[in-house]
């Protein structure tokens, strides 16, 4: 993220790089929570099945202490409560914009296990479905079927198209939330770079109203704050003009 904002290697901005890692903590927290909840939902039914299988033989008592009562009921409550938490977590990540990072992480895991790439292309599926439906309607019309059958097919097509449009709207809302969340992260990181990583004084000549980060003995990263709401920042790599070096770059 630091490189995307500044255009230079993140090694030159160690504090900002660490801050960018901290900004990714919420996404990792949500991702690990989702994985644990999914794992819980996969294990809990197996646990309940084994517990019910051992109950007629009295072996289920070996799994718990004598004062642990109602293990099956407790397991069912945990299962449904886990489903509720999983649903709430899904709603949370879709509304806050974390869905892109979480989906990308989960997609890489699935692709690693299956070896197949996962892609979502609603537009292509829409065109293929429409072409198939139009073919069906034309075939029905050409086979001299009554108008009632054609009306039913047209109604089914309209309903499916409405569902597809609703899905597109939801996906568009998810993308907008994800873009907004990423912009918030970038704005926070840019502000941190300007306020805490850059210097207002240096051995190199500094343009008035700007701050700089020295990349090496001969180059610096100049940061200019552009007025606006929200504030924007411009990053430019320039030669270092000091008392000893860089005079050939001085504008005349």
Partners of 225 in beta bridges: 233
Chunked into runs of 10 residues, the chain (252 residues) has average pLDDT values of 87 90 80 76 80 70 66 80 82 73 65 63 47 49 60 79 76 75 87 90 87 89 84 88 71 58
Q: Looking at residue 144, what is its pLDDT?
A: 47
Q: Do residues 189 and 20 make contact, with C-beta atoms less than 8 angstroms apart?
A: yes
pLDDT score recorded for residue 221: 92
Q: Looking at residue 7, what is its pLDDT?
A: 87
pLDDT value, residue 61: 61
The structure tokens 């004084």 sit at 201
The pLDDT, as a whole number, for residue 126 is 47
How many Cβ atoms from other residues are within 10 Å of residue 14's Cβ?
Answer: 11
Residue closest to 233 by CA, chosen among 203, 209, 205: 209
Q: How far apart are CA 248 and CA 244, in angstroms?
A: 11
């Amino acid at each position: 993220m630091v490189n995307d904002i500044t255009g230079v290697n993140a090694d030159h901005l160690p504090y900002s790089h660490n801050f960018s890692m901290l900004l990714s903590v919420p996404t990792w927290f949500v991702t690990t929570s989702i994985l644990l909840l999914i794992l819980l939902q996969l294990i809990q039914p197996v646990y309940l099945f084994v517990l019910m299988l051992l109950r007629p033989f009295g072996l289920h008592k070996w799994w718990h202490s004598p004062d642990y009562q109602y293990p099956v009921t407790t397991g069912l409550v945990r299962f449904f409560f886990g489903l509720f938490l999983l649903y709430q977590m899904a709603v949370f990540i879709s509304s806050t914009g974390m869905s892109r990072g979480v989906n990308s992480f989960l997609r890489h895991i699935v692709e690693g296990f299956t070896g197949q790439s996962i892609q979502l292309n609603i537009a292509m599926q829409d065109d293929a479905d429409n072409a198939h439906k139009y073919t069906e309607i034309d075939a029905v019309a050409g086979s001299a079927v009554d108008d009632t059958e054609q009306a039913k097919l047209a109604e089914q097509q309209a309903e499916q198209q409405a569902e597809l449009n609703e899905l597109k709207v939801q996906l568009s809302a998810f993308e907008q939330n994800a873009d907004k969340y990423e912009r918030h992260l970038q704005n926070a990181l840019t502000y941190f770079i300007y306020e805490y990583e850059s210097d207002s004084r240096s051995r190199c000549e500094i343009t008035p109203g700007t701050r700089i980060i020295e990349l090496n003995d001969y180059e610096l990263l100049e940061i200019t704050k552009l007025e606006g709401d929200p504030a924007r920042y411009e990053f430019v790599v320039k030669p270092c003009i000091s008392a000893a070096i860089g005079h050939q770059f001085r504008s005349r």
